[in-house]
Amino acid sequence: MAKPLILVTNDDGITAPGLRALIGFMKEIGEVVVVAPDSPQSGMGHAITLDNTLYSKRVKIDQGDTMEYSCSGTPADCVKMGLQELLERKPDICVSGINHGSNSSINVIYSGTMSAAIEAGIEGIPAIGFSLCDYSWNANFEPVGEIVKKIVLEALDKGIPEGVVLNVNLPKTEKDEIKGIKVCRQARANWKEKFDKRTNPMGKNYYWLTAEFELLDKGEDTDEWALANGYVSVVPTQFDLTAHHAIQHINNWNLHEH
């Protein structure tokens, strides 16, 4: 049987060590095609390029015959470009990452890593976003390799429910210290943000956004609890944003009389 075709992308850029590690893991499973941003695109969310030109070119970063393309756009652009222009057939799965840093809890909203996976999911392709809770460019991805491969193999074998992508976060720890994998929910949390206001030599104000993560959830069934306790968290994430539980409440408003 033909090997599965795996589309690999990320938001940290085509040269990011996390992407290079993911490519290596996926080459043990199937045929890999890479379409990734030509520069870092962290925090881009699901932005797409509408008012500018897009460029893509074949690149060779490592040894081997893997098809790799860099794209001038966002992570979502990369998936669109891959599916519409660069791949000869529909991939069996799309994997995004491995991100340098957590995309657990509320971070999923801002994540370019997860938005690339979601873009694939919208197109009906099973998709997974992987993130390691280590922001260092020199992060060690080897301890999580077997777990990443296990999750992808299970997804290929058993499928992912329609309308769902997986948000997988991996703790920063040694291989033999990972306690297991927990399927869990997204923890309630937010960022307490403020702007650090400064003035440049020309007298013009500029700002740095700073923030402190605030966990509002004490549940032991959340991604934050799993990661804090040495587990890999797997959160099934849907891109239908309808709050179905609120429909009846809003229907009780006086909206139907003119």
List, for residues 183-210, the tens digit of each pLDDT value: 999 999 988 888 999 999 999 999 998 8
How far apart (Å, rounded) are the C-alpha atoms in residues 117 and 97?
9
Question: 29: which 2 tokens?
Answer: 């499973």
| Position 64 confidence tier, pLDDT thresholds 50, 70, 90 | confident
Q: Is the pTM of this model over 0.75?
A: yes
Digit-coded pLDDT (tens) for 24-50: 999 999 999 999 999 888 888 889 989
Which domains occur in the chain, in start order?
5-187+219-251 (3.40.1210.10)
Residue type, 29: I
